[in-house]
Amino acid sequence: MLPNISRILLLILLACSSSGAVAPKQPILGHRSAPLLKVNGLTFKDLNRNGKLDPYEDWRLPAQVRTADLVQRMSLEELAGLMVHGTLPSVGPMSPLGVGAEYDLVKVHEFVNEDHINTFITRLKGSAADFAKQNNEVQAVAESSQWGIPVTISSDPRNHFNQVLGAGSQDEAFSMWPEPLGFAALNDPKLTRRFGDIVRREYQAVGIRESLAPQADLATEPRWARINGTFGEDPEIAKRMVEAYVIGVQSGPNGVNSSSVAAVVKHWAGYGAAKDGWDSHNYYGRYAEFPGHNFAQHLIPFTGAFEAQVGSVMPTYSILQNLAVDGSLVEQVGAGFNRQLLGDLLRTKYGFTGVILSDWAITNECPAACRNGASAGNTPTPDDIGMPWGVEELTVTQRFAKAINAGVDQVGGTEQSNAIVEAVHNGSISEARVREAASRILLQKFQLGLFEQPYVDETRAAAVAGSTEFVREGQAAQARAVVLLENKQVASTGKPLLPIAPTNKKIYLYGVAAKAAEAAGFTVVADPAQADLAIIRAPAPYQSEHPNYFFGSRQHEGRLAFLETDAPYAELLRVSAIVPTVFVTTLERPLILTNLRPHTTALLGDFGISDEALLALVTGKVSPQGHLPFELPSSPEAVKQQKSDLPHDSQSPLFPYGFGLHY
């Protein structure tokens, strides 16, 4: 009797021949070391180099059939390698974030051929052409492995201004757009879908095929450090934006395909209800809480991703403190270890069938420096980072077992596939569960077309990533998303300050490049007394108030208001007494601007904007169209009194949700 896969292949081929189906179209095959096979005038890659066409190498077959064939050929160690999501190692001069200038291909070879790992996040930066070349070199290593399984290369967002390790990476090789909050401020699904499509094109051009986005968390706790990556606090708007991004980045509403960059929607679920605003990257911030009994609304944005057939879901780090779902108290462990949240809620109730990818480092230890903060004079190291919330007392192998048995298919931020093998050997994970998880991961590789074409055109990469058209669209979106909060009349003209024609106008600048203002037509002066107007641009205020703060300046948490000790605010007080003043700050969280308002002639909130785009807005070439994606509270006391899981519940907000003026 024929093996099961062979019988399926025979039936498919017989069905095609008897139905008069159109002959399959030969795809372009990217290869460097694998031999090619000719079968009936068609070409295939002999990835395992056995001299014959195996079902998993046959691009005519459905992805599910190819997956089943390859899974049955692989050893336990190889299947376990599929189930970890490592980091592409780098060497050479290190950036401030500790990333080298190029990949360490010796280490990549070890990860791929000895540890059998073939999914990695990249943190590399550089020119698009060089990035493409280096990613191709990684794929060449993978092609030389036993089964020739291509690498899936993932990335945190690169098309925004946010620069936080593990959350986002500003990369000048790509077009720059407002933060997701800016898309919520515009509430334009068509624009968000276009953005997702541009991300897809730019990522594909350099060899990135998985987007660790979008962030579907609701921004209901104003002090929370991760609000910048969300689509705001309204669940229905967030749902629309999440769905639009997934459709754009995955090239359509029907799931992962050969034109896709696979999306990973995160963080399932309730992350935005951070207790006291502390982020669950930190031990002291490991809880989310729901005093307003509003967990259900935190699930709504994810349904947009499900409707677009998102490829993957990432669980939150957080423990959902004392939350009951369907009448049962949720186990007090992080969501990556929680069978109720992953198996019962995500898989069964919502019917999700894709890959569940854990957030990074959940199986790591959390040593004293992690729990208590680094001691004076010491800097935390990567070895100090771990988020095993609720399972701190388990061993690393036990954490892997608990996560995988809860529903995680792939563990993020680790290369410890040996822990999965050990867990199978000691009986804490079944081989069937390993095959199930590995099959989901392999299926996406086949659906993405990576087995046929893992390589990219290095000469074309720079023409796509960061193209003039994409940069122009991004800058227009940056300016449109700005929220005009205040635009007072100027006594000398009797008209609102903005927009202002630059002709014969002198301008004083703080935090804005003189070159950009001169290019816009202004004359830049060094003394505000000589100016017709001033622009003061300030980064958002923050200051950790927690004694065990671990990540240093990595995340912006703590206070939301400007103080007189903040240099931009002190400059506002000085300059606004002399000349009409525009104050611009980034609304990365719901800032408290009460003390700024009396001193500003015009007050703007941006979501990431270049100086050039800002000057286009000031001069009226672009009109601000943004509306607040969250309310701006009036005082720290109002922030403390609101409930972490409820939107729009701040008492007497300075600016209400949805506020926004126009020219």
| CA angle centred on 308, ends 304 and 313, rounded to 5° | 75
pLDDT tens by residue, 254-270? 999 999 999 999 999 99
Q: Which of 45, 43, 65 has the alpha carbon at shortest distance from 55?
A: 65
Query: pLDDT tens digits, residue range 82-115?
Result: 999 999 999 987 675 667 789 999 999 999 999 9
What's the CA gap between 213 and 200, in Å, rounded? 12
Cα–Cα distance, 106 to 231 (Å, whole number): 40
The pLDDT value given to residue 372: 84
Whether 237 has a pLDDT exceeding 60, the answer reads yes
| pLDDT for the residue numbered 168 | 58
Flag whether pLDDT at 553 surpasses 50: no
* CB-CB contact of 141 with 108 (8 Å): yes
> Would you call 326 a catalytic residue per the annotation?
no
Return mean pLDDT, the chain. 93
Could you tell me the pLDDT band of residue 543, with boundaries at 50, 70 and 90? confident
Instruction: Take residue 467 and report the two structure tokens written for it.
Output: 């193209």
Q: What is the reported pLDDT for 226?
A: 95
Question: Could you report the per-residue pLDDT of 334-384, keeping only the tens digit for each?
Answer: 999 999 999 999 999 999 999 999 999 999 999 988 888 777 667 667 778
**Residue 662: burial class (beta carbons within 10 Å; 0-12, 13-18, 19+):** exposed
Confidence at residue 9, expressed as pLDDT on a 0 to 100 scale: 53
- Residues of the chain above pLDDT 70, percent: 92
User: Of 140, 152, 151, 153, which is closest to residue 34 (Cα–Cα)?
Assistant: 140
- 156, 171, 197, 234: which is the annotated catalytic residue? 234
Query: Would you list the DSSP string of 408-422?
Result: -SBEET---HHHHHH
At residue 604, what are phi and psi to the nearest 5 degrees? Answer: -120, 140
The pLDDT of residue 206 is above 60: yes
Dump pLDDT digits (tens) for 642-652.
999 999 999 99
Note if 130 is an active site residue. no
What's the pLDDT tens digit per position in 475-529? 999 999 999 999 999 988 899 999 999 999 999 999 999 999 999 999 999 999 9
Higher per-residue pLDDT: 64 or 378: 64
Pairwise CA distance, residues 393 & 434, whole Å: 24
Q: What is the per-residue pLDDT across 419-470, written as a single tens digit (0 to 9) for each?
A: 999 999 999 999 999 999 999 999 999 999 999 999 999 999 999 999 999 9
Token pair for 28: 């372009």
Q: How many helices (H) and strands (E) does the chain have?
A: 20, 24
- Residue 312 three-state SS: strand
β-pairing, 324-325 vs 312-315, is unpaired
Q: State mean pLDDT over 280-300.
A: 96
pTM score: 0.95
* Residue 258, burial from CB neighbour count under 10 angstroms (0-12, 13-18, 19+): middle
- 269 preceded by a cis bond (ω within 30 of 0): yes
Does residue 559 surpass a pLDDT of 80?
A: yes
pLDDT score at 545: 64
Classify residue 539 by its DSSP letter: P
Whether residue 20 has pLDDT greater than 60? no
| Spatial distance between the Cα atoms of 153 and 315, rounded to a whole number of angstroms | 20
Question: Reduced to 3 states, what is the DSSP secondary structure of residue 136?
Answer: helix
pLDDT at 3: 45
From first CA to last CA, the distance across the chain in angstroms is 76
The secondary structure of 323-378 as a DSSP string is -EETTEEPPSS-GGG-HIIIIIIIIIIS---SEEBPPTTTTS---HHHHH-PPTT-
Q: Among 197, 359, 532, 611, which one carries the catalytic annotation?
A: 359
